[in-house]
Amino acid sequence: MMLPHDLHGCDFRRVFLKGFQVQASIGFHSHETLQRQRIVIDVDLYIARDQAPIERDQIDEVLDYDFLRDEINTLTMKRHFNLQETLAETIADRVLTRPLVQLVRVQIQKPDVYKDCESLGVEVLRRQKKTP
């Protein structure tokens, strides 16, 4: 993955959720609003190692992975999303509420839309806003 130019040279720890499959109410076509469909979500979180050193081998030194899966489950169960882009941006927003996360990549795929394609989807890359 290409990092933004001002993040090159930084040491990161990457935490990821890969191939998470959920049934979501997503899409704007009439058949998509009537029933849930399978989507596959990948999320990469980048944490600056100097901001989260591991010194004691304890869970309180790292980001708890469970929150990520729980947030996605909650989001996809609560509401309908017309666009994959909206869901991806919403997931990124939730992830970036965690101050340790410097950068997040969210990819959403719909694998069952076209028979002649493996999937179609969207990917967003967002970074923590810098404070003045």
Domain ranges of the chain: 5-121
Distance CA 47, CA 39 (A): 26
3-22: burial string, b at 16+ Cβ within 10 Å, e else: eeeeeeeeebbebebeeeeb
> Could you read off the pLDDT of 9-56 as tens digits, one per residue?
668 888 899 999 999 988 888 777 778 999 999 999 998 877 765 667
Is the Cβ–Cβ distance between 22 and 73 less than 8 Å?
Answer: yes
Q: Decide: helix, strand or coil at residue 45.
A: strand
Distance CA 12, CA 49 (A): 5
Tell me the CATH class for 5-121.
alpha beta
> Could you read off the pLDDT of 86-101 as tens digits, one per residue?
999 999 999 999 988 9
pTM listed for this prediction: 0.85
Higher pLDDT, 7 or 29: 29
pLDDT (0 to 100) of residue 65: 79
